[in-house]
Amino acid sequence: MPEDWLYSVRMRAADPAGRHLSGAERIVEEPEVPEVAAQLLARALDRGSVVEARISVDGRERSQVHSIPCLPVTDVCLPPGADPRLLLGPVCCSVEVSPSALDAGLRGLREGFRTDGAPTRGAVILDSISGARLDPHLERGVRARHFDYSPTGRDAARKTLEEAGLGHFRTFEALALASKVAWSGVLLELCWSDDGEYRPGYIATRQHGYLRLAEFKPAGAVGGRVFFAEGPQAVPEIIRRLEEEWTLVEPPVRVVRREA
């Protein structure tokens, strides 16, 4: 393996029905590849019903990998029972996502974007004004890939999040994803996990950073991710960046708490 290359190590695991159970990616230097592949395989096999686990490795010249800033994190505390729209409305307005586009996004996250009610395998892209679906694969959506924290950023990010009481692996990985999504030209991202038990979610924009809400997902919602884009002409470049460009998220990670 040439030394001036970096390597993406990816894992995905599925259950007997072929349903996706777990996935993760690291971008590392060549000597770390065997150990990281073993760690990801162990993570895959840790899921009880896994019967299929795949590890993929491929490389890219280091000079072709982008360093991108980590979005700052705000842990937003809404009063008990408050409507998250108190926060969402002004944020959407300031990045020109219309109220009807926001409604379309929230409805999809609640009821699912697919006819069978299952979550899409990636995020859906909606027009920021009309709320119309813009990505081409209706059952699949689009998946951000080829991103990780930089080697120096990884431990620092984990430590900062843990110290702020946000040490869950989902927050750690979602922050890197949201940083890449914002860098790819998405105006605003909304995320509710598709794990039924997990209620925190976030809104992210380049201007406002990663706004985490502890109780964002309503009970019974399907979950998923929505990316709002500035019209159909913006979509091909967003998808190219999300899928093809390799990015390492750089520190510092900043976390503040805000009462809303």
Name the binder of 225 from ligand AMP, ligand COA, none, CB < 5-8 A by kind: ligand AMP
160 versus 193: smaller Cβ distance to ligand AMP: 193
Starting at the edge strand found earlier in the chain, the sheet holding 5-14 runs 20-28, 5-14, 52-61
CA neighbor of 229 nearest in space, from 181, 194, 175: 181
Q: Residue 223 interacts with ligand AMP (CB under 6 A)?
A: yes
CA neighbor of 239 nearest in space, from 97, 114, 134, 130: 134
State how far the Cα of 165 lies from the Cα of 162, in Å rounded to an integer. 5
Cα separation values, 169 from 129, 133, 158, 162, Å: 33, 30, 9, 10
47 versus 143: smaller Cβ distance to ligand COA: 143
Q: How many residues does the structure list for the chain?
A: 260
Torsion sign over Cα 29, 35, 41, 46 = negative
Map residues 157-176 to x or -, x wherever contact with ligand AMP holds by CB under 6 A. Answer: -------------x------
Q: Residue 120 interacts with ligand AMP (CB under 6 A)?
A: yes
Compute the C-alpha angle 250/188/151, nearest 5°. Answer: 15
Shortest CB 59 distance to ligand COA, Å: 14
State how far the Cα of 260 lies from the Cα of 256, in Å rounded to an integer. 13
Map residues 181-220 to x or -, x wherever contact with ligand AMP holds by CB under 6 A. Answer: ------------xxx-------------------------
Residues that bind ligand COA (CB under 6 A): 10, 12, 20, 23-25, 54, 56, 121, 140, 143, 145, 147-149, 173, 176-177
Name the binder of 194 from ligand COA, ligand AMP, none, CB < 5-8 A by kind: ligand AMP
Shortest CB 174 distance to ligand AMP, Å: 6
108 versus 131: smaller Cβ distance to ligand AMP: 108
Residues of this chain that bind ligand AMP (CB under 6 A): 119-120, 122-123, 141, 143-145, 170, 193-195, 223-225
